[in-house]
Amino acid sequence: MVEVKLHDIGEGMTEGEIIHLLVKPGEMVGVDQPLLEVQTDKVTAELTAPSAGKIKELLVKPGDVVEVGTTLVTIETESKEPVAVQKSKQAEKEPASNTRSFEKLLSRSPGNDKTHRVLAAPYTRKIARENGIDIEKVTGTGSAGRVLDEDVYNYLNNGETAKEYQTEAASSSSAEQVAEKTEAQTGAPAERKTIPFKGRRKQIARKMTQSLYTIPHVTHFDEVDVTNILELKKELQDSKGIKISVPAFLLKALALTLKEFPIFNSRLDEEKEEIVLHDHINLGIATDAEEGLIVPVLMDAQNLSIKEIHSRVKELTKKAQTNQLTHADLKGGTFTVSNVGPLGSTGATPIINYPEVALMAFHKTKKMPVVRGEDQIVIRSMMNVSVTFDHRVIDGGASVAFTNRFMEYVENPSIMLLELV
């Protein structure tokens, strides 16, 4: 018998929430067949069967929050000796070795195989569940019949679940009327609404509390002229057809600045009483996703061109917003960036992503009259920036010098380009 346990499928993971069970007791499963979906503090993953056999027992149910090491499923195999599934050496190198991509699974014939499962990503299944759709009724247009997000939305838009929604809405309306009538007759308050405090939200709270109580935070503000960046961006698009986002230029300027000020790209090891300077500049990109803040990492930013940064950040942002980030996308960050300007932010005092020692935020850009040259008033595009730093490691003077150098690169793109030669 094989025991399938929840192992550490993410950096620092301690627990996960069971989202959906994909098999039933007594069902026959094949190797690599998905057994259940689990939501960690960062990603949703599918745990697959390490061996073929029959599902003997499901020890969890949807909504359960279980710790790493907990047995989730037992599978009866030909071997009579109980075997506990543990991480192999390969799994230590690839933490998500028990979560396989559906493209790697063989499509089974539903007519001849009772263990047939629809090919679909966890996020796609989530969309279907939230909209009351039986995903097995959706025709997949992806590789090997894989059901895509668009297939679920098309199924929904065709009105095939309209009757279900009408029934649910009528039931909900009736329930609300009963509740209102009960409250009016008894004077008892209606049931209060709550939001579960677990999963990613709980992990965010834990990390923010750890950081705030560990690090003495200091934040200073400045404003940088991004007019020349905007003009260069427009010129590249008009003359070469090359589309580069403003954040890509800013991130390159930041990477160059971090290279000159390595103390900002470090961590404090209090036990060994030393400050560790990182060899690589891995920028964490704080991203606002439906399930909460998440920070995918732009690896080795010091070696990437502005065009490569644009492409990679675009890819990471899309994956974050569709809950498709891998564990490799989320680990190894050395400095975090928060681009909250598009949301309308004019300033903030962000909390550092522990154990990093600093964070930079890009705020709102707006046109303003500024003095240039010999008291000449001109209209320029000015962006607020804030730098939050760990005062145990960095002093205010160093933070101002760091920001000034960053501003020099942004306001004079030609200097930035010279650094790339």
- pLDDT, tens only, 2-52: 899 887 665 556 778 888 888 999 999 988 888 988 877 667 778 888 889
Please provide the DSSP assignment of 350-393 as one string. PPP-TTBSEEEEEEEEEEEEEEETTTEEEEEEEEEEEEEEETTT
Contact 387, 224 (CB under 8 A): no
Top mean pLDDT of 79-93, 128-142, 173-187, 340-354 is at 340-354
**Contacts by residues 359-367 (CB-CB < 8 Å, ≥ 24 positions apart):** 359/335, 359/387, 359/388, 359/389, 360/254, 360/335, 360/336, 360/385, 360/386, 360/387, 360/388, 360/406, 361/337, 361/385, 361/386, 361/387, 361/388, 362/247, 362/250, 362/337, 362/338, 365/226, 365/246, 365/341
Contact 263, 392 (CB under 8 A): no
Query: What residues does 376 pair with on adjacent strands?
Result: 372
Contact 29, 55 (CB under 8 A): yes
Here the tokens at position 101 are 């991509």
CA 350 – CA 72 distance, rounded (Å): 38
Which band of pLDDT confidence, cut at 50, 70 and 90, is reported for residue 362?
very high
DSSP code of residue 167:
H
Please provide the DSSP assignment of 200-247 as one string. HHHHHHHHHHHHHHHS-EEEEEEEEE-HHHHHHHHHHHHHH-----HH
Q: Which of 25-34, 156-165, 325-334 has the lowest mean pLDDT?
A: 156-165
This prediction has a pTM of 0.62
Whether the CA torsion 55, 95, 294, 194 is positive or negative: it is positive
Q: Are β-strands 2-5 and 83-84 bridged in parallel, bridged antiparallel, or unpaired?
A: parallel
pLDDT at position 85 = 45
pLDDT at position 387 = 97
User: pLDDT by residue (tens digit) across 200-241?
Assistant: 777 788 888 888 888 999 999 999 999 999 999 999 999 989
CA 202 – CA 206 distance, rounded (Å): 6
Whether the CA torsion 87, 282, 400, 228 is positive or negative: it is negative
Only one residue has tokens 């192992």, namely 7
Q: State the angle between helix axes of 306-321 and 246-260 in degrees (0 to 180), rounded to the nearest 10.
A: 110
Here the tokens at position 74 are 């037992």
Burial class (CB in 10 A: 0-12, 13-18, 19+), 316: buried
| Active site annotation includes 391 | yes
* Percentage of residues of the chain with pLDDT beyond 70: 79
CA 30 – CA 104 distance, rounded (Å): 13
Here the tokens at position 258 are 């971090």
